[in-house]
Amino acid sequence: MKRLVIAAMVLALVGAFAFADGPTMAWKTNVYSGFGVATAGTVTTLQGYDYSWVGAGAVRFNMNYTSADGKAGFNSRLQMTMPDASVAEGAFGGPTANFNQINAWAKFGMFTVRAGMNDDYTIATPIWNNYGSTDGKVGIYFNVTPFDGLDVGYFQPIGNVASDISNFFSPAGTARATVGLAYTAKDIAKIELGALAADWSPSVPTTLYAGAALTAVKGLTAQLEGKFDLGTTTSVALLENIAYNMGALTVGSYVGENLSGSNFYWGLEPTVAYKVTDNFSVNAIFNFYNNPSQTWMSPIDAGIGIAGGYGNDFNLGAGLSVGYSASGATLTVGDYFAGASGGTNLFYVNLDLAL
């Protein structure tokens, strides 16, 4: 089976270009950079940080090529990360660089094959956790579209590729065989259903997931995603996102629930965004949650270390940022504070530049 998968992977890589029509190469490059300065008590930490997606690298280069006929292509992302460094201790380390996406794809009628370190989200849920995505996972993804609007996908990971060529690849997380489908009813909604196979470790059970996004109402964002782990301990995670755009003003909230064994966690994240001009915007976010590590909900403060809760692990947080966009570039500067008196403060700067 392993040899068959590897052979199919090689054929997809070769076929992606062998069957491409047209010699035109149109590379697109995106440079993303961001850093944060987190202060908790007397300890200050400098880190690569993305205010909207925790744990981003310091710099990202995305390079993509699509053939003239749109039937084959190549995607890659080189990510350079700066390790967290305590300013108080002077523990600054150098950056590391790895490809965390590099793959080729080809279309054959209703079939699409993508091989390498993947980046496919076709059958993934629509919010933070993206259950069912293949991002950063080494293997081969098969997709069939029997009719317009329906995608059925299967991802087969190749377990030992990362260790064989570890100097080149740096996979993100444990790859698990995934099967799922996504159905899009144009201008109405999109739904996703799927399953992630159990890992060899008994601690990683089979996971069922589902997601949905309503697209029928102009200006309204309504999304849902959830997973259910079929293990010895009940584990259910749900996340809802609802927002409404009223011209220059957008208001909304993320709401999350997590049942893990006998523990029930919840979270609420209201957001407000106001577009002052075509280029300049102001954004605010608030957090209310009863677990200081809501990784299943990915709040803005996940991963920065929260200090000074309010008892029973209940925490509050608030942040304000300003953004300026022009000529394909967006600069965001913000500050966020979480916890009671003496909690954690985060100042961050992000630049997204499309070249």
Per-residue pLDDT, averaged over 296-324, amounts to 65
pLDDT tens track for 259-294 = 888 888 888 889 999 999 999 999 998 888 887 666
Pairing of strands 85-86, 96-108: unpaired
Q: What is the structure's pLDDT at 250?
A: 97
169 pLDDT higher than 70: no
Q: What is the structure's pLDDT at 300?
A: 60
* Mean per-residue pLDDT of the chain: 78
| CA 155 to each of CA 97, 138, 263, 303: distance values in angstroms, whole numbers, following the listed order | 26, 10, 32, 29
Please report which helix (H) or strand (E) contains residue 15, including its range: helix 2-18
How would DSSP label each residue in 116-154? EE----TTS-SSTT-TT--TT-EEEEEEE-SSTTEEEEE
Of 59-68, 134-143, 181-190, 210-219, the least confident = 59-68
30 pLDDT higher than 80: no
Q: What is the rounded distance in angstroms from the CA atom of residue 149 to the CA atom of residue 144? A: 11
Per-residue pLDDT, averaged over 200-206, amounts to 66
> What domains are there in the chain, each with its CATH number?
2-354 (2.40.160.10)
What's the predicted TM-score (pTM) here? 0.82
For residue 79, give the amino acid letter. Q
Q: In which band, very low, low, confident or very high, does the pLDDT at 223 lie, cut at 50, 70 and 90?
A: very high
pLDDT tens track for 90-143 = 445 566 778 888 999 999 999 999 999 999 999 999 998 899 999 888 889 999
